[in-house]
């Protein structure tokens, strides 16, 4: 706030209004998603069903390198496609902790695993927003992103294994990593290029989960690694657990396993419904339930800040409208899934209320942290700090295609959302592309693709991951763990974009 007021000459009332807007946005809808997601997870633990979930995963593989691929990468992508906005990291991080991973590494691995699906998260919302702010057909943006991200999708599973067990681990598990990443990448490409931007995550994740599960039924690594040996080579990533030398057959029947996983199946179905156009239309202006949505214009901020060239083609006032949507919010879908799960899992209403109260108490400081983080992000956005950094990158001329993804990276770091990053910098990418005679669709897609690499270091994601894995107060430690991987991935996308701009122009969407 002080920098905004004294260095960027932002009026005091506007600076505090921006901070307040960010704080309440952190509470709703962001913190609501986290509360609902952690509540759902705690219900599976309180009901004893998590033991069955753990058993079902171990029955596929007890190799914890492969468990990360199955849960952190494939299942996390499914949750990202359906929910997004922090829920995947919260749920998969908690699942890995339950399987024996130390909290720091569970959080870090899940943040990095959540790279590949972010651009198409929440049924393609980031792509749709990019289309709205640039005027480019969202299908074309999604198709172009689908010609960049598959390279990263193949890389991430190998990267995760290398983080856990070095080159030795990659040599031992590369077939499984290739199946997980390859099946995801191929499906991601075809879905984004031939169906649309809404479903790549859902289809890719389902294909990856099924492919990897079936593959692990007929193949397993020569050496099964659990924490005993991994801890020596990778800094004790997980707690010590004895190795059985192979997957342990589940002691539970198929019906019991389905029941244990049912909260997450219900979650996926409900959140998918919540993000569908017909459902959203019910709460849009003119919709049957629009009266249930409360829109509040933030005093001293709404349309008081003007975006100007070259950020946008025409001077545009920035909106500051807080939307309270108790029924249509994504967190509500997760919460309803949790309520249904209370009855399916046989928890009981009284115990369910107790679990919810316990969830709120355990998350009181993380919720405050999330609010403060979003306050910071909103002040940087409305004061012009973020666009100042963006203009520095845009001044790199013909090398801008390399730096273009770093704008998306910066946007996601500041806002915690690829959607917000596209809204913030989409027009700048399009305008700069026209200035340097490069495809505007390419650079807008690069903003989205680069944004996914910033997700793992955004303060919002860090706070969510720490809250879900019981690491409140260790956010800086988790940031240091993920930042180098974030920069490397952003550089990979930068190189891909640069080559597509000037060398492999046949890869561009015509």
* Residue-wise pLDDT tens digits, 426-454: 878 887 888 788 999 999 999 999 999 99
Beta strands 321-324; 306-307: pairing state = unpaired
- Please state which of the ranges 130-139, 230-239, 369-378, 497-506 shows the lowest mean pLDDT: 230-239
Per-residue tokens: 46:
């309180």
| DSSP assignment of 113-138 | HTTTTGGGHHHHHHHHHHHHHH-S-H
Closest CA to 38 of 30, 163, 4, 505: 30
- Please state which of the ranges 92-96, 114-118, 306-310, 489-493 shows the lowest mean pLDDT: 306-310
| DSSP assignment of 270-314 | HHHHHTSHHHHHHTSTTSTTGGG-EEEEPTTTTTTSEE-TTTSSS
Distance CA 492, CA 510 (A): 23
Q: How confident is residue 234, by pLDDT bands cut at 50, 70 and 90? A: very low
Statement: residue 232 has pLDDT above 60: no
Distance CA 459, CA 454 (A): 10
Percent of the chain whose pLDDT exceeds 90: 45
Looking at residue 415, what is its pLDDT? 77
* Residue-wise pLDDT tens digits, 121-146: 766 878 988 887 788 999 999 999 99
Give the residue extent of every domain in the chain: 2-234+257-507
- Report the pLDDT averaged over residues 109-130: 85
Statement: residue 318 has pLDDT above 90: no
Query: Is 31 exposed, middle or buried (CB count within 10 Å of its CB: 0-12, 13-18, 19+)?
Result: buried
Half-sphere exposure of 40 (CA within 13 A, CB side): 31
To 5 degrees, how large is the angle CA 393–CA 463–CA 109?
80
Percent of the chain whose pLDDT exceeds 70: 92
| DSSP assignment of 195-224 | T-SSSHHHHHHHHHHHHHHHHHHH---SS-
Looking at residue 467, what is its pLDDT? 83
- Report the pLDDT averaged over residues 372-388: 80
Looking at residue 230, what is its pLDDT? 44
To 5 degrees, how large is the angle CA 179–CA 185–CA 190?
125
Cα 307 from chain centre: 28
Q: How confident is residue 424, by pLDDT bands cut at 50, 70 and 90? A: confident
Q: How confident is residue 185, by pLDDT bands cut at 50, 70 and 90? A: very high
Distance CA 293, CA 283 (A): 7
Phi, psi of 471 (to 5 degrees): -115, 30
* Residue-wise pLDDT tens digits, 50-88: 788 777 777 888 888 999 999 999 988 887 876 566 778
The mean pLDDT of the chain is: 86
């Amino acid at each position: 706030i002080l920098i905004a007021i004294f260095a960027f000459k932002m009026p005091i009332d506007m600076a505090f209004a921006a901070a307040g807007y960010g704080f309440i946005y952190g509470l709703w809808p962001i913190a609501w998603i986290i509360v609902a997601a952690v509540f759902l997870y705690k219900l599976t633990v309180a009901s004893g069903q998590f033991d069955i979930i753990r058993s079902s995963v171990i029955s596929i593989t007890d190799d914890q390198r492969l468990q990360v691929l199955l849960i952190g990468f494939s299942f996390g992508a499914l949750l990202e496609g359906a929910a997004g906005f922090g829920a995947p990291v919260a749920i998969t991080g908690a699942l890995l902790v339950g399987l024996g991973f130390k909290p720091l590494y569970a959080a870090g691995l899940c943040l990095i695993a959540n790279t590949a699906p972010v651009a198409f998260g929440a049924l393609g919302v980031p792509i749709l927003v990019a289309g709205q702010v640039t005027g480019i057909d969202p299908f074309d943006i999604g198709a172009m992103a689908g010609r960049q991200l598959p390279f990263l999708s193949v890389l991430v599973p190998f990267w995760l294994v290398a983080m856990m067990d070095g080159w030795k681990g990659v040599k031992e598990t590369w077939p499984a990593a290739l199946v997980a990443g390859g099946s995801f990448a191929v499906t991601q490409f075809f879905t984004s290029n031939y169906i649309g931007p809404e479903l790549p995550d859902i289809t890719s994740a389902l294909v990856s989960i099924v492919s990897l599960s079936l593959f692990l039924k007929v193949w397993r690594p020569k050496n099964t690694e659990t924490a005993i040996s991994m801890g020596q080579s990778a800094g004790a990533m997980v707690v010590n657990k004895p190795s059985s030398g192979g997957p342990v057959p589940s002691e539970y029947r198929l019906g019991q396993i389905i029941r244990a996983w049912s909260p997450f199946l219900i979650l996926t179905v409900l959140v998918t419904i919540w993000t569908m156009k017909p459902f959203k239309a019910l709460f849009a202006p003119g919709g049957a339930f629009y009266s249930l949505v409360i829109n509040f214009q933030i005093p001293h901020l709404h349309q008081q800040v003007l975006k100007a060239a070259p950020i946008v083609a025409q001077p545009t006032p920035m909106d500051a409208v807080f939307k309270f949507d108790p029924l249509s919010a994504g967190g509500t879908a997760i919460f309803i899934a949790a309520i249904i799960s209370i009855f399916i899992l046989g928890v009981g209403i009284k115990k369910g209320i107790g679990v919810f109260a316990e969830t709120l108490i355990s998350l009181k400081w993380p919720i405050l942290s999330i609010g403060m983080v979003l306050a910071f992000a909103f002040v940087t956005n409305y004061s012009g700090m973020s666009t100042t950094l963006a203009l520095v990158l845009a001044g790199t001329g013909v090398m801008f295609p390399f730096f273009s993804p770093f704008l998306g990276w910066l946007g996601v770091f500041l806002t915690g959302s690829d959607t917000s990053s596209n809204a913030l910098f989409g027009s700048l990418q399009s305008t700069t592309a026209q200035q340097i005679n490069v495809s505007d669709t390419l650079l807008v897609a690069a903003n989205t693709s680069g944004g996914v690499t910033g997700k793992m270091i955004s303060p919002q994601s860090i706070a969510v991951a720490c809250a879900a894995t019981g690491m409140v107060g260790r956010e800086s430690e988790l940031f240091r763990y993920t930042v180098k991987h974030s920069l490397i991935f952003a550089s990979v996308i930068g190189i891909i974009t640069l080559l597509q701009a000037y060398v492999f122009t046949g890869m561009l969407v015509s």
